[in-house]
Structure 1
Amino acid sequence: MVFESLVVDVLNRFLGDYVVNLDSSQLKLGIWGGAVALKNLEIKENALVSQLNLQIPWQNLYTQPVEAVLDGVYLLIVPTASIKYDAEKEARQLLEARQRELQRIEEAKQKIADQDKVKEEKQDTFVEKLVTQVIKNLQVKISNIHIRYEDDVIVRSLLYIFIVGYLLQI
């Protein structure tokens, strides 16, 4: 559906730096009810969000808040000594960061060039206005946070792994 791909595109624009491979198969839409649900979101570097629900009040978008509810946030924390250095991964991340920065610079240059054209004032598109309004009225709620700490460095000589977990239910 075109609307689903539009929503995935907008979400990827804002969540792309944090979520791995967001696609429309993870997305459930209740268009007119204003409900958007994303399930099993893999967060970059050792995290998972079971469910992200967005409640968008389409009929009262300018007066009522947009609610983002994250349920089931799973974090895995390990000491940096146990993380193996991956030169390829480091180079890839550096390249991606540089490309994002170049893209931002190009967009800024383009924006300045567009502003210089006094005759043509660029009107925001409907989607840009909608996204701006959603972000202005955004309320975030987080529940069921699972934190797990694993350390195999401290007790390596004893052949044990130290694991501690904590569940915060809100």
Structure 2
Amino acid sequence: MVFESVVVDVLNRFLGDYVVNLDTSQLTLGIWGGAVVLKNLVIKENALSQLDVPFKIKVGHIGNLNLTIPWKNLYTQPVVAVLEDIYLLIVPSSIIRYDPLKEEKQLLEIKQQELKRIEEAKQKVADQEKILAEKQDTFTEKLITQIIKNLQVKISSIHIRYEDDITNRDNPLSFGISLQNLSMQTTDSNWVPCRHDETEKLFRKLIRLDNLFAYWNVKSRMFYLFDVPKFN
């Protein structure tokens, strides 16, 4: 099925850009089997480089990533994505010790990603032109739209922390946000979770946040100084 290839491509591209040493072959097998289970994913230090910000990730990981795809019942059952235990410790780029070999490797990765995106963009243009020329049926587009309508996303235990003892060495600061649960479900007109009714033109998504809080500390302890920072 064409959609299976689309899912493989999107997840490989997204996770490959941000996750260290991703086993793409295992990921692909999981997608084709209908169940992806990945554990202890380490987020790349330069994952924020595309945003062009003067920050880097000192520590970042995703405890669990589960994706369930009901290939035989895509029109009646939801695709469920579950992420658990997401932690990011972000610091100014100048804090991280310069490593020329590591920097060269990261720059090479960025260039390779850009070249890959350019080639993919060219291929997409060619594919679109081919579709327009042949006036093919939009079955795949309809299927993707239906899956988006019934997509369920659940994220639990998120903590993002920023530390800075460079801007003001006498008053090192830290701030962050933490969220216990975030979920997104399709609902009916009364906001009751359900499968999307294909007869309705509109579809509704209910987003729920549980126990969201933020903090800001001065003269704060700098967890990034530890070999294995633990701040959750």
Task: Report the AA paired with residue 19 of structure 1.
Answer: V
1:75 aligns with 2:88: yes
| Cα distance in 1 between the residues matched to 2:76 and 2:44 | 34
1:140 aligns with 153
The corresponding residue for 1:107 is 123
Does the CA-based 8 Å contact 2:86-2:159 persist in structure 1?
yes
Select the residue among 179, 190, 207 that pairs with 1:168: 179
- Candidates 114, 128, 141, aligned match of 1:98: 114
1:84-139 Cα deviation digits (max 9, x unpaired): 67663674355234303421343035325634764xx7789x9x998776556432
2:17·2:113 contact (CA, 8 Å) conserved in 1?
no
**Residues 29 and 36 in structure 1, CA contact (< 8 A), matched pair in contact too:** yes
* Secondary structure at 1:169 match in 2: strand
Contact 2:31 2:69 (C-alpha < 8 Å) held by counterparts: no
Contact 1:26 1:39 in 2 (8 A): no
Looking at structure 1, the residues matched to 154 and 117 of structure 2 have their Cα atoms a distance apart, in angstroms, of: 30
- TM-score, normalized by length of structure 2? 0.49
1:50-69 maps to which residues of 2 (within 5 A)?
Answer: 50-69=63-82
Structure 1 window deviating more from structure 2 (12-21 vs 85-94): it is 85-94
- Once residues 84 and 74 of structure 2 are traced to their aligned partners in structure 1, the CA distance between those partners, rounded to angstroms, is 23
What code does the residue aligned with 2:179 have?
L
Distance in structure 1 (CA, Å) of the matches to 2:121 and 2:144: 22
Contact 1:42–1:49, Cα closer than 8 Å, also in 2: yes
SS in 1 for 2:81: strand
**Aligned 8 A contact 1:27 1:37 in 2:** no
The alpha-carbon distance between structure 1 residues 123 and 88, as it changes in their structure 2 partners (threshold 3 A), is farther
State TM-score, norm by structure 1.
Answer: 0.63
Which residue identity does 1:82 align to in structure 2?
A: I
> Would you say how many aligned residue pairs link Structure 1 and Structure 2?
159
Q: Unaligned 5+ residue runs, structure 2?
A: 46-56, 182-232
Shift of 1:13: 3.6
Residue segments in structure 1 that go unaligned for 5+ positions in a row: 1-5
* Counterpart amino acid of residue 96 in structure 1: Q
1: CA distance between counterparts of 2:74 and 2:133? Answer: 32
Query: CA 1:148–1:82 in structure 2 vs 1: closer, same or farther (change >3 Å)?
Result: same
Alpha-carbon deviation of 1:152? 2.6
Task: Give the 3 Å change call, closer, same or farther, for CA 79–9 of structure 1 in structure 2.
Answer: same
Structure 2 match to 1:21: 21
